[in-house]
A and B are shown apart, each in its own frame.
Chain A
Amino acid sequence: MEEKRFDVEEDAILFDPVRKTGKSFYLTLSLLIAIIFWGVYAYLTQYRNGLGVTGLARPIFWGVYITNFVFFIGISHAGTLISAILRLAKAEWRRSITRSAEVITVLVLFFGVGNILMDLGRPDRMLNIIWYSQFQSPLLWDVSSITVYLTASSIYLYLPLIPDIALLRDYSGKRQWFYRIFALGWTGTERQHRLLEKSIAIMAIIVIPVAISVHTVVSFVFAMTIQPMWHSAIFGPYFVAGAIFSGIAALMIAMNVIRKVYHLEDYLRPVHFNNLGILLLVMTLLWFYFTFTEYLTTYYGGEPIHMVIFWSKFTGRFALPFWGMFVFCFVIPLPLLSLKKTRTPFGTLIASISVVIGMWLERFIIVVPTLTNPRLPNELVLYSPTWVEWSVFVGCISFFILLYMIFTKLFPIVSIWEVREGREKSMAEVQERIRTYLPGIGIE
Chain B
Amino acid sequence: MPRWGMVIDLDRCSGCQACVVACHAENNIGIVGPEESARGRTIHWIELIPYIEGEYPHIKARLLPRPCMHCDHPPCTKVCPVFATYKNEEGLVGQINHRCIGCRYCTTACPYTVKYFNWHAPEWPKEMKGSLNRDVSLRTKGVVEKCTFCSHRLLKAREKAKVEKRELLPEDYIPACVQACPSAAMFFGDLDDPFSVVSQLSRERRAFRLMEDLGTEPKVYYLSEGM
Q: Which residues of A contact B (CB under 8 A)?
A: 49-52, 56-62, 116, 119-123, 125-126, 128-129, 131-134, 136-140, 143, 221, 224-227, 371, 374-379, 381
> Could you tell me if A134 and B82 are in contact, using CB atoms closer than 8 angstroms?
yes
CB proximity of A161 to chain B, nearest CB, Å: 34
For B182, what are the chain A residues with a Cβ–Cβ distance below 8 Å?
Answer: none
CB proximity of A366 to chain B, nearest CB, Å: 12
CB proximity of A68 to chain B, nearest CB, Å: 15
> Could you tell me if A50 and B82 are in contact, using CB atoms closer than 8 angstroms?
no
For B210, what are the chain A residues with a Cβ–Cβ distance below 8 Å?
Answer: 376
Interface set, chain B 10-38, CB cutoff 8 A to A: 36
> Could you tell me if A122 and B100 are in contact, using CB atoms closer than 8 angstroms?
yes
14 further contact pairs, Cβ within 8 A, besides A52-B119, A121-B118, A137-B81: A51-B141, A52-B120, A58-B41, A58-B113, A61-B117, A119-B104, A125-B100, A128-B99, A133-B82, A137-B79, A227-B111, A375-B211, A376-B113, A377-B52
In the A-B complex, list the 8 residue pairs whose CB atoms are closest, starting with the nearest.
Answer: A121-B102, A121-B142, A57-B40, A381-B40, A52-B119, A50-B141, A137-B81, A61-B104
> Could you tell me if B142 and A50 are in contact, using CB atoms closer than 8 angstroms?
yes
Q: How large is the interface on B (under 10, 10 to 19, 20 to 34, 35 or more residues)?
A: 35 or more
> Could you tell me if B40 and A58 are in contact, using CB atoms closer than 8 angstroms?
yes
The answer to whether A139 and B103 touch (CB under 8 A), given A121-B118, A122-B143, A226-B75, is: yes
CB proximity of B77 to chain A, nearest CB, Å: 8
Q: Is B161 an interface residue (CB 8 A)?
A: no
Which listed residue, B75, B113, B141, touches A378 by the CB 8 Å rule? Answer: B113
For B75, what are the chain A residues with a Cβ–Cβ distance below 8 Å?
Answer: 225-226
Which listed residue, A125, A221, A226, touches B99 by the CB 8 Å rule? Answer: A125
> Could you tell me if A374 and B104 are in contact, using CB atoms closer than 8 angstroms?
no
> Could you tell me if B120 and A121 are in contact, using CB atoms closer than 8 angstroms?
no
A116 to B81, CA, bound (A): 13
> Could you tell me if B143 and A121 are in contact, using CB atoms closer than 8 angstroms?
yes
For B116, what are the chain A residues with a Cβ–Cβ distance below 8 Å?
Answer: 58
25 contacts across the A-B interface (CB closer than 8 A) = A50-B141, A51-B119, A57-B39, A57-B40, A58-B40, A59-B40, A59-B108, A61-B104, A61-B108, A62-B108, A121-B104, A121-B142, A121-B144, A122-B100, A125-B102, A128-B101, A132-B83, A136-B79, A138-B79, A140-B81, A143-B81, A376-B49, A376-B66, A377-B49, A378-B113
Which listed residue, B81, B100, B113, B214, touches A226 by the CB 8 Å rule? Answer: B214
CB proximity of B123 to chain A, nearest CB, Å: 11
A381 to B41, CA, bound (A): 10
Q: Is B226 an interface residue (CB 8 A)?
A: no
For A51, what are the chain B residues with a Cβ–Cβ distance below 8 Å?
Answer: 102, 117, 119, 141-142
Q: Is B132 an interface residue (CB 8 A)?
A: no
